[in-house]
A = this chain, B = another copy of it.
Amino acid sequence: MTGRRGSGKPTIADVAALAGVSVAAVSKVVNGKGGISAPTRDRVLRAAARLRWTPSAAAVALRGARTRAVGLVVRRPPDLLSADPHFTRLITGVEAELSPAGHGLLLHLVGDDPAAEEAAYRRLADERRVDGFLLTESRVDDTRFALLRELGAHAVLVGTPWRDDPVPSARAGGDREAGVRAAVEHLLDLGHRRVAYVSGPEDRVHTHHRRRAFEEALAARGLAPARTLVSDFTAAGAVDAVRALLGADDRPTAVLLANDTMAVAALSAARRLGVDVPGELSVVGHDDLPLAELVYPTLTTVRQDLVNLGRAAARLLLVALGEADDAPVAVRPPELVVRESTAGVRRAAAAGSR
């Protein structure tokens, strides 16, 4: 008999009635506004709990123009996506920040289609479904910034912007290329002199940064890259790259690849060609996905603190929305994890190349 029990979900009016106060009082209580006596507060809270009432997200959004949701649009070829747990880790971190803040994550996976990507952003923004966006995979001359500015949407970039792009970005702390540098030094210390690099696609910002770090680290020891190839993050691409590398006259004794998936593919490509890892070829990956410990030999790789990167980005977005304090989340700098896929140069391999 209390209110309209049974007929659908309770509303703020039901709670007010049950507590014997006005709806305004209920609103103030749940929003932590002042000007409510303790006893009233109590009665409201009790009534709300009894009715299991929570403010309707739609009503709140309509009223205040805040949806308490953020959007994440991922543009990737489906196959690549499912091959790479990269995103799952990132999202884990994002969630860890968003959930306690009462914010939802609206996910959109669009294939490898720029038009679909733009449409997704537009729809989410025009329908006012989200308060802001998280952008992943910083791209060279990223067109998303202009789009989001046009749409008037808040945005935070995960990673390093290409130039001084006008959005806040979440990045690793410390020296962001420390991982790649450490990897190169590790290889050189093992005696390698012919080190190759297989990069990711040229339109990704980190491709350039990492490759440059690779080249500089070699240069610092007076060396040049044995070879630098551009791949596409796919396993097939990595296999081709490794074939090219190993088929050459002066083949490298070590190779760095831009992600773990490619590195694992390299491992098996080498094996298939009868090249022993790490006996004849050392292999280094990037990201330190669980996969890296799973394969044989286990993969030496550059660990990225993806979970905290996701957290940091989400936090920045909440701050931009005025929903969180400006307490940045620390993201550990990339760090080399040495496992079995790297070892010293064997005499034979080092000497006789062709």
Which residues of A pack against B, CB within 8 Å? Answer: 9, 52-59, 61-62, 67, 69, 78-79, 81-85, 87-89, 91-92, 95, 99, 102, 104-110, 120, 122-124, 126-129, 152, 235, 261, 264-265, 267-268, 271-272, 289-291, 293-296, 298, 307
Check if A57 sits within 8 Å of B106, measured CB to CB. Answer: no
Q: What number of copies of this chain does the assembly contain?
A: 2
User: What B residues does A235 contact at CB under 8 A?
Assistant: 290, 293-294
Which interface residue of A53, A87, A102, A109 has the most chain B CB atoms within 10 A?
A109
Contact check, B106 vs A69: say whether CB atoms are below 8 A apart.
yes
Q: Which residues of B contact A91 (CB under 8 A)?
A: 107, 109
Closest 10 CB pairs of A and B: A268-B296, A58-B61, A83-B290, A54-B126, A82-B85, A58-B62, A57-B127, A82-B88, A82-B89, A95-B109
**With A107-B105, A271-B296, A296-B267: A126-B53 Cβ-Cβ less than 8 Å:** yes
A91 to B107, CA, bound (A): 9
Q: How far is the CB of A97 from chain B (nearest CB, A)?
A: 12
Residues of B within 8 A of A54 (CB): 123, 126-127
Nearest B residue to A81 via CB reads B88
Q: How far is the CA of A69 from the CA of B124 in the complex (A)?
A: 12
> Could you tell me the distance between the alpha carbons of A128 and B10 in the complex, rounded to whole angstroms?
11
Please tell me if the beta carbons of A108 and B95 are within 8 angstroms of each other in the complex: yes
| Distance between A339 CB and nearest chain B CB, rounded to angstroms | 12
Name the one of B82, B106, B152, B264 contacting A105, with C-beta atoms under 8 angstroms: B106
Give the chain B neighbours of A62 by CB distance below 8 A.
56, 58-59, 62
Roughly how many angstroms separate A77 CA and B110 CA in the complex, as a whole number? Answer: 26
In the bound complex, residues from chain B placing their C-beta under 8 Å from that of A67 are: 57-58
Q: A95-B109, A104-B108, A272-B296 are in contact. List 14 more A-B contacts (CB 8 A).
A: A9-B126, A54-B127, A57-B58, A57-B61, A83-B289, A84-B85, A88-B88, A95-B107, A95-B108, A99-B110, A106-B106, A261-B290, A261-B294, A291-B291
- In the complex formed, the residue of B with least CB distance to A152 is B9
Docked complex Cα distance between A105 and B78 (Å)? 17
- Asked if B294 and A58 make an inter-chain contact with CB atoms under 8 angstroms apart, the answer reads no
A82 to B293: give the CA distance in the assembly, Å.
13
- Name the contact of A289 in the complex, choosing from B61, B69, B82, B120 (C-beta under 8 A): B82
Q: Report which of B61, B81, B92, B104 forms a contact with A106, defined as CB distance below 8 A.
A: B104
Residues of B within 8 A of A53 (CB): 126
